[in-house]
Amino acid sequence: MNDVWNQIRLSWTWLTASAQWHGDDGIPHRLLQHVIYSGVSLACAAVIGLALGLLVGHTGRGGFVVVSLANLARAIPTFGLVVYVVLVHYSITAALIALVALAVPPILVNTYEGLRGVDADAKDAASGMGMTGWGVLWRAEVPMALPLILLGLRTSAIQVVATATIVAYPGFGGLGRYIIDGLARNDYQLVVGGTVLVVLLALIVQIVFAALRRLVVSPGLLGTARSS
Amino acid sequence: MITFEGVTKRYPDGTVALDDVSLECPTGRITVFVGTSGGGKTTALRTINRMVEPTAGRVLIDGGDVRERKPAELRRGIGYVIQHAGLFPHRTIEDNIATVPYLLRWNKKKARAAAHELMERVGLDPSMARRYPFQLSGGQQQRVGVARALAADPPIMLMDEPFSAVDPVVRAELQDEFLRLQAELHKTIVFVTHDIDEAIKLGDRVAVFQTGGKLVQVDAPEDLLAHPADDFVAGFIGQNRGIRTLGFAETGGLRLSGDAVFAASADAADAAGLDWVLVVDADRRPLGWARPADETGPLAEARLAPVGATFRAGADSVRVALDAAVLSPAGLAVGVDEAGAVVGTAGGADLLAVPTHGPAHHRADRAADRPAGAPEPADAPAKGGAGD
């Protein structure tokens, strides 16, 4: 128990020390780097995962193959893959590609499953009333699949935020810098402080997605509509 | 008028869903497709709005081949109602109903105004407009489905088992309101059901499909009951075919007798010799049945057996009257007018003497039963009462 308290006190002292809040090695700068790397990776993964997931889910063709491949990719020890790519290629592009590869499967699989789960009667009614293929996708399938699509995005976002620490290995900064430096110097205050920041960022991502869900998902799907 | 000309649908695996179907669905009437599952009735319906493309033959709407129009554009002009309603869970009731108006790019205000008007039409409280489908009962959802199909006022409605998924009480309600609505709107309706009773209740014409996608008979419901084309149709119609035919016989021409009707002020002795008498109050409303032989003094003090069921003379069918006769302890059906006052009574034999109308079929001439050439149903609607 004492140990835990100690760690918390240590990281609190570190986090609140004014030296940590200025300059290139300061928390704001590292945080911004981390957010940018995570954001770029997630955006690329979203484009790939959503496009593929919507295509396969809407047409109903190739679903088995795509989902199997995506799940296979998930089974690869991701951290190992990322470290390997980063250490071998030692470039920011390689690091970002690794993060994208990590983020695509949850988005893809959830988008596909979301579309597949859309009520067949509602789809039949949509096209029977004169919606075109695109109309059915955008006016019926996507809005109804939105809870699962957002879940996929959130899962990927949190994974990316946590894993983006490795960008610090090839020396491109981010919050991972503190952890790696701390480990190298046996400075556990630094390690814990960096970790706490990553956890906080992940929590913020979680909150942002919860807010997004309330904002864009219809109350008719969440069962939260007021009865009046 | 929707016309099927030799329509066949064969799937790549060799299954035949429709086998050379020719038939006409007259404008402003309800044509019911009924049959066993796998009979092709739903497939037939779906060829009309091009949800299914026939392998051979063609479907015409008012003489124009449906394939000459783009599917999406064609469908926006045809109402579509399916089992389980198929509502959009993410849209409010008003926006569900306004689906086709939105597709037709009406402005939002006009589309929602149309939606609210339709909610009242189909018996939904407009205060539900902002609710979501999950907040509605199955019957209410089905009403929304009907309103949604009517939103852009299409001349044609396709209804695929719209009332199958609700309980029998709600189903009967929906059917009655559907008929009331159709009496106002006069849409050309194609209605699919597996329930022969529903087909007979709702259809102006009933088309019976047999497994393998064959159309076996198209007729007015009373003719279908009276003259099934073959054993399949007879079997499908099931039990009590004769009794059900009486559902189409009118009580308008029935001679009702006042001999057994006595005012409550009358004395039991006045009714001596009668087995049962119907006691009525000063407004001639029925109070109950009495046995004069067991009573002395005024009938107002007699022990009364319940009236049981009554029928509205001229408005109800002979079947309803016969039902009332069976339920009455006297074996007599009590006919009442719109105000509920007793007109008279009729016995079972009187009821069975009423001729069932419907044109007689020439059973020997089977060619006359060919669907496309079948006669139109009689045009004159039944008018109850003697008029003024």
What pLDDT sits at residue B364?
33
Q: Is the pLDDT of residue A103 over 80?
A: yes
Name the residue among B49, B91, B130 with its Cβ closest to that of A128: B49
| A9 in any annotated domain | no
Q: What band does A225 get if pLDDT is binned at 50, 70 and 90?
A: low
| A17 in any annotated domain | no
Name the residue among A121, A140, A227 with its Cβ closest to that of B82: A121
What pLDDT sits at residue B367?
35
Structure token pair of residue B326 = 């069976």
A144 in reach of chain B (CB within 8 A): yes
CB contact under 8 A, A125 and B82: yes
| Section B14-42 average pLDDT | 93
Q: Is the pLDDT of residue A187 over 90?
A: no
CB contact under 8 A, B75 and A221: no
What pLDDT sits at residue B6?
96
**What's chain A's average pLDDT?**
87
Please determine, looking at this structure, whether the domain spanning B261-352 carries the CATH number 1.10.260.40: no
- Domain range list for chain B: 2-249, 261-352
What pLDDT sits at residue A78?
66
Closest residue in A to B73 (Cα–Cα): A130
CB contact under 8 A, A130 and B103: yes
Most confident stretch, A15-29, A140-154, A175-189: A140-154
Q: Is the pLDDT of residue B366 over 50?
A: no
A223 in reach of chain B (CB within 8 A): yes
CB contact under 8 A, B51 and A140: no
| A75 in any annotated domain | yes
pTM of the model: 0.79
Q: Which residue has the higher pLDDT, B112 or A17?
A: B112
Q: How far is CA A5 from CA A1, A8, A15, A23, A179, in A?
A: 6, 5, 15, 29, 19
What pLDDT sits at residue B221?
92
What pLDDT sits at residue B374?
40
| Section B234-254 average pLDDT | 83
A224 in reach of chain B (CB within 8 A): no
Closest residue in A to B50 (Cα–Cα): A128
How far does B84 lie from chain A, in Å, by closest CA? 7
CB contact under 8 A, B88 and A122: yes
| Section B183-205 average pLDDT | 95
Q: Is the pLDDT of residue B378 over 90?
A: no
**What are the residues of chain B with a beta carbon less than 8 Å away from any beta carbon of chain A?**
49, 51, 71-77, 80, 82-92, 99-100, 103, 130-135, 145, 148-149, 158
Q: Which residues in chain B have their CB less than 8 angstroms from residue A131's CB? A: 72, 103
**What's chain B's average pLDDT?**
87
How many domains does the structure of chain A reveal? 1
CB B122 within 8 A of CB B177: yes
Q: Which residue has the higher pLDDT, B294 or A151?
A: A151
| A110 in any annotated domain | yes
The fold adopted by the segment(s) B2-249 is Rossmann fold (3.40.50)
What pLDDT sits at residue A188?
84
How far does A228 lie from chain B, in Å, by closest CA? 7
| A16 in any annotated domain | no
A206: number of Cβ within 10 Å: 14
Residue A48 lies in domain: 26-219
Closest residue in A to B83 (Cα–Cα): A121
Q: What is the pLDDT of residues B266-323, one digit of tens each?
A: 888 888 888 899 999 989 999 999 988 888 888 888 888 998 889 998 888 888 999 8
CA B203, B209, B213, B216 torsion: positive or negative?
negative
| Section B210-231 average pLDDT | 92
CB contact under 8 A, A121 and B49: no
Q: Is the pLDDT of residue B351 over 80?
A: yes
Q: Which residues in chain A have their CB less than 8 angstroms from residue B75's CB? A: 127-130
| Section B184-210 average pLDDT | 95
CB contact under 8 A, B89 and A126: no
| A7 in any annotated domain | no
Closest residue in A to B100 (Cα–Cα): A129
Q: What angle do CA B208, B211, B212 make, to 5 degrees?
A: 110
Q: Which residue has the higher pLDDT, B71 or B254?
A: B71
CATH for A203: 1.10.3720.10
CB B354 within 8 A of CB B249: yes
Q: How far is CA B355 from CA B210, B251, B277, B288, B314, in A?
A: 31, 10, 28, 30, 14
| Section A136-144 average pLDDT | 96
Provide the edge-to-edge strand list for the sheet that holds B2-10.
Answer: B16-25, B2-10, B56-61, B64-65
CB contact under 8 A, A128 and B90: no
| A71 in any annotated domain | yes
Most confident stretch, A129-133, B38-42, B317-321, B367-371: A129-133
